[in-house]
């Protein structure tokens, strides 16, 4: 006996939706064409599958098509948009950047059919002149975003080579859609200067970006640029994240080799910096002062913070990392941070001219168990460089190791600082194996300063340090 032609409609709605969600797009289309009843029943589900997540390249025709989709009434279905710069990502990075910004830079009804740049002939052949000639102000990103009332995330895939995204961020603010929860930058390092924040006054930045980010919860960025530009970037982050930001990840690549100087109020962040709802923070490659730490990890939000990851960050209070990071750790204990389940501080591997000690990397990873760092039995992995290639690893209770140091009003007590690091590393932080890589760097610096001339004495010192072995061997992990 053949099945009933409308048997899908006779099943419970939950089972019907499950079956339809597993069908390929082509089969889903065929199912809708079987009858008016099928079309009526599955139209909403079909649109959800097709339009909920869109992946778009930056071709002008694609932006035009997106504009048509949003204006046709499908805009409310779109929740996630991922931009791709294929096929121009490898050959024409400038052309790719130009494509995303054309709409907002042209007068109504105008569109350049030729892109004036060296080697653009092949790229121009990929553009449909008939289609692109119709692009006008209606295809601006601002206009498109206004027709996406339920847009929740904007992302860039690995093919994108855009080094700035000012057009996108200003379009979000100008559209005032206020639904975007996740914003991720292109995977390449974005030039901080391309955000054009350095020439803007704080009032201008706050005014320009005060709209459109009311529900932003996750912000991920990869940046590159001189440290002098970063205060404006931090102000921008504070502006877009002041209402709802919970998860902040920024990986920064320094351009300058010299240590930058803090601003007039003793930090690299603006004085009024605030992210009151922050729960998770991951910073990589930034210069910070203790004042910046108190702004990023504010006591008022201590009960909310669940994750703190600081990698390759330099504390600029003085040339004494042991003191600086001891002060940070005692600050964390003093303010408890009762829900902190993930703490990672990458302190090793930073050469600042000091060869007498090296600090360990600290890692608490209790995200799955949910056990906070101050709970009984919570272990912290203490990893210290041992020689040039290996590591000395031990597990300690960081909360207990801090002991009563957090009760001291003066964190400058050298005895307390030495006792803490001595106990945490089992005395290995000043061992020959822990400091070997720093001493080798120092000797090679001397060699370079002498224009590559390696005296007999210097050569013997380098060989001696390279061959050092001590009693740490039995504790070393490969």
| Burial status of residue 432 (CB atoms within 10 A of its CB: 0-12, 13-18, 19 or more) | middle
At 334, is the secondary structure helix, strand, or coil? helix
40 found inside a domain: yes
**Percentage of residues of the chain with pLDDT beyond 90:** 32
User: Average per-residue pLDDT in the chain?
Assistant: 77
Span 43-70, average pLDDT: 72
Q: Which residues on adjacent β-strands are paired with residue 363?
A: 344, 381
Pairing of strands 182-184, 153-156: parallel
Give pLDDT tens digits for 380-413.
999 998 876 788 899 999 999 998 776 665 566 8
End-to-end CA distance of the chain: 68
Mean pLDDT of 285-307: 94
pLDDT of 351 reads 78
Question: Which CB contacts under 8 angstroms, 24+ apart, belong to 464-467?
Answer: 465/436, 465/439, 465/440, 466/436, 466/440
Residue 317 to residue 288: CA distance in whole angstroms = 8
* Mean pLDDT (whole number) for 217-225: 91
Report the range out of 51-65, 66-80, 205-219, 354-368 with the highest average pLDDT: 354-368
Query: Each residue of 323-347: pLDDT tens digit?
Result: 999 999 999 999 999 999 999 999 9
pLDDT band of residue 474 (cuts 50, 70, 90) is very low
Least confident of 65-79, 86-100, 177-191: 86-100
- Whether 185 shows a pLDDT value over 60: the answer reads yes
Q: How far apart are CA 469 and CA 478, in angstroms?
A: 15
Nearest to 313 by CA among 341, 340, 346: 346
Residue 35: inside a domain = yes
Domain residue limits at 4: 1-51
3-state secondary structure of 55: strand
Task: Note whether residue 15 is domain-resident.
Answer: yes
Residue 451 scores a pLDDT above 60: yes
Look at 168 and 242; give whichever has higher pLDDT. 242
> Would you say residue 447 lies in a domain?
no
Do the beta carbons of residue 153 and residue 181 sit within 8 Å?
yes
Task: State how far the Cα of 458 lies from the Cα of 450, in Å rounded to an integer.
Answer: 11
Considering only 41-55, 420-434, 438-452, which range has the smallest mean pLDDT? 41-55
Q: Between 196 and 52, where is the model more confident?
A: 52
Closest-CA residue to 272 (of 326, 324, 234, 245): 234
**Residues 229/198, Cβ–Cβ less than 8 Å:** yes
Share of the chain above pLDDT 70, in %: 69
Q: Are the C-beta atoms of residues 69 and 51 closer than 8 Å to each other? A: yes
Question: Average pLDDT of 166-179?
Answer: 84
Structure tokens at 476: 């070393």
The mean pLDDT of 196-204, rounded to a whole number, is 70
Q: Which residue has the tokens 């004042």?
A: 291
Give 289's pLDDT tier (boundaries 50, 70, 90): very high
DSSP 3: P
Q: Does residue 85 lie within any of the structural domains?
A: no
Q: DSSP state, 272? A: T
Domain count, the chain: 1
Q: With respect to residue 10, please indicate whether it lies within any of the assigned structural domains.
A: yes
| 7, part of any domain | yes
Picking from 113-122, 339-348, 443-452, which range would have the lowest pLDDT averaged per residue?
Answer: 113-122
Q: Model confidence over 226-241: pLDDT tens digits?
A: 776 788 889 999 999 9
Q: Is residue 126 part of a domain?
A: no
Per-residue confidence band for 115, with pLDDT thresholds at 50, 70 and 90 = very low
Q: What is the rounded distance in angstroms from the CA atom of residue 256 to the CA atom of residue 127? A: 40
Closest by Cα among 44, 39, 38 to 4: 38
**131 pLDDT higher than 70:** no
| From 152-161, 187-196, 243-252, 379-388, the region with the lowest mean pLDDT | 187-196
For residue 417, the surrounding DSSP H or E stretch is: helix 414-424
Tell me if residue 95 falls in helix, strand or coil: helix
Q: What is the pLDDT of residue 134?
A: 35
């Amino acid at each position: 006996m053949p099945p009933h032609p409308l048997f899908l409609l006779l099943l419970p709605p939950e089972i019907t939706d499950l079956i339809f969600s597993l069908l390929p797009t082509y089969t889903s289309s065929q199912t809708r064409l079987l009858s008016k009843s099928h079309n009526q029943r599955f139209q909403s589900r079909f649109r959800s599958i097709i339009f909920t997540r869109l992946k778009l390249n930056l071709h002008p025709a694609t932006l035009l098509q997106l504009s048509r989709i949003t204006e046709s009434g499908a805009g409310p279905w779109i929740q996630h948009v991922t931009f791709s710069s294929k096929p121009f990502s490898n050959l024409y990075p400038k052309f790719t950047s130009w494509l995303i910004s054309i709409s907002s830079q042209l007068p109504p009804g105008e569109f350049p059919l030729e892109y004036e740049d060296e080697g653009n002939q092949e790229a121009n052949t990929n553009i449909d002149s008939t289609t692109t000639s119709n692009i006008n102000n209606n295809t601006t990103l601002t206009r498109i975003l206004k027709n996406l009332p339920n847009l929740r995330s904007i992302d860039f895939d690995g093919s994108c080579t855009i080094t700035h995204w000012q057009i996108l961020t200003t379009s979000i603010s100008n559209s005032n859609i206020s639904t975007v929860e996740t914003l991720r930058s292109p995977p390449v390092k974005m030039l901080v200067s391309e955000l054009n924040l350095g020439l803007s006054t704080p009032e201008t930045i706050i005014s320009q970006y005060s709209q459109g980010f009311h529900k932003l919860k996750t912000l991920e960025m990869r940046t590159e640029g001189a440290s002098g530009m970063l205060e404006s970037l931090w102000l921008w982050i504070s502006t877009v994240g002041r209402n709802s930001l919970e998860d902040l990840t920024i990986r920064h690549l320094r351009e300058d080799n010299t240590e930058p100087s803090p601003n007039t109020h003793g930090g690299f962040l603006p004085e009024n910096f605030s992210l009151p709802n922050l729960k998770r923070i991951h910073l990589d490659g930034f210069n910070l002062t203790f004042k910046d730490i108190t702004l990023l990890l504010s006591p008022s939000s201590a009960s909310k913070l669940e994750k703190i990851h600081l990698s390759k960050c330099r504390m600029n209070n003085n040339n004494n990392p042991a003191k600086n990071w001891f002060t940070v750790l005692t600050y964390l204990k003093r303010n408890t941070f009762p829900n902190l389940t993930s703490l990672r501080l990458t302190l090793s591997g930073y050469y600042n001219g000091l060869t007498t000690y090296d600090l360990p990397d600290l890692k608490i990873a209790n995200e799955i168990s949910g056990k906070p760092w101050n709970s009984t039995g919570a272990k912290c992995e203490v990893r210290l460089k041992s020689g040039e290639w290996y590591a000395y690893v031990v597990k300690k209770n960081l909360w207990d190791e801090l002991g009563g140091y957090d009760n001291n009003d003066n964190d400058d007590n050298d005895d307390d600082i030495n006792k803490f690091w001595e106990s945490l590393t089992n005395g290995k932080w000043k061992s020959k194996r822990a400091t070997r890589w720093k001493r080798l760097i120092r000797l090679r610096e001397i060699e370079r300063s002498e224009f590559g001339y390696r005296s007999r004495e210097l050569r013997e010192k380098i060989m001696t340090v390279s061959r050092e072995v001590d009693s740490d061997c039995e504790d070393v992990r490969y």
